[in-house]
């Protein structure tokens, strides 16, 4: 059996932190084996922006694409995990030293969300100049280990919009705590929620030789 898979997804359970005021995560058995005479049938209620998830452009633009419209190729393939711990924000100048040749997916390990049992107050965010910088290197997907690529109190969502303008897709809420920076194969498929503004994903990494 292949044991090289690293799960980089947050657990979904009662009490999993959500954006303040957002729908709590809930799983329950709506029809038990005793009731049905044959099976337990589960029911799920959650915000799409809880835990590890991808954003669709419709999340921040009324005329944006829905999750079902996005190309699945984005969510599988080589990805570079980059160490950006100890930065309060990530700007293009912080990335200049990194060799981004052949990188189309980049995952930022900020380590700025330390207590996973609570929604964070402040985390490392992405500056608007990162989007054009990454686009120049043909990067198509950015992933972060925090709930948002923007500051948590942002209403303008500058980074979301700048990334979208540069055709870069967004994966949020990763758990990169136990991941050594470097090359991996990423797999993080969204569910086919036809009208979705995003989707929870099961994100994993597999060892990869560039």
Ligand X SMILES: N[C@@H](CC(=O)c1ccccc1NC=O)C(=O)O
Of 169, 179, 101, 120, nearest to 140 by C-alpha is: 169
Span 151-180, contacts to ligand X by CB under 6 A: 157, 172
b/e code 14-25 from CB counts within 10 Å (16+ = b): eebbbeeeeeeb
Q: Does 172 count as an annotated binding residue?
A: yes
- Among 15, 19, 42, 195, indicate the residue that binds ligand X (CB under 6 A): 19
Q: Does 55 count as an annotated binding residue?
A: yes
The contacts found for 18-21 with CB under 8 angstroms, 24 or more apart, are 18/47, 18/49, 18/50, 18/119, 19/47, 19/49, 19/50, 19/119, 19/147, 20/119
- Among 22, 65, 94, 185, indicate the residue that binds ligand X (CB under 6 A): 22
Q: State the Cα–Cα distance between residues 51 and 7, nearest whole angstrom.
A: 13
Is 59 considered catalytic here? yes
| Residue number with CB closer to Zn ion (31 or 60) | 60
Residue 19 interacts with, from Zn ion, ligand X, none (CB under 5-8 Å by kind): ligand X
- Among 17, 25, 49, 81, indicate the residue that binds Zn ion (CB under 5 A): 49
x/- contact string, 40-69, with ligand X (CB under 6 A)?
A: -------x-x-----x---x----------
Contacts (Cβ under 8 Å, ≥6 apart) of 6: 178, 179, 184, 204, 205, 206
- Among 10, 50, 52, 55, indicate the residue that binds Zn ion (CB under 5 A): 55
Q: Using CB under 6 A as the criterion, which residues of the chain lie in contact with ligand X when the complex forms? A: 19, 22, 47, 49, 55, 59, 148, 157, 172
Active site residues: 59
Q: Using CB under 5 A as the criterion, which residues of the chain lie in contact with Zn ion when the complex forms? A: 49, 55, 148, 172
């Amino acid at each position: 059996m292949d044991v090289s898979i690293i799960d980089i997804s947050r657990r979904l359970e009662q009490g999993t932190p959500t954006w303040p005021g957002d729908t709590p995560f809930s799983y329950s058995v709506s029809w038990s084996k005793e009731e049905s005479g044959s099976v337990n049938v589960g029911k799920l209620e959650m915000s799409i922006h809880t835990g590890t998830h991808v954003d669709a452009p419709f999340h921040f633009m009324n005329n944006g694409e829905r999750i079902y419209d996005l190309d699945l190729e984005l969510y599988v393939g080589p990805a570079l995990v980059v160490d950006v711990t100890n930065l309060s924000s990530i700007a293009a100048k912080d990335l200049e030293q990194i060799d981004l040749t052949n990188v189309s997916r980049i995952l930022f390990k900020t380590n700025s969300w330390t207590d996973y049992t609570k929604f964070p107050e402040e985390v490392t965010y992405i500056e608007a100049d990162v989007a054009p910088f990454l686009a120049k290197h043909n990067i198509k997907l950015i992933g972060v280990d925090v709930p948002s690529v923007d500051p948590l109190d942002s209403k303008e969502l500058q980074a979301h919009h700048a990334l979208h303008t540069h055709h870069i897709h967004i994966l949020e809420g990763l758990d990169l705590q136990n991941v050594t920076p470097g090359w991996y194969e990423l797999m993080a498929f969204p569910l086919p929620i036809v009208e979705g503004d995003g989707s929870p994903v099961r994100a994993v990494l597999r060892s990869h030789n560039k």
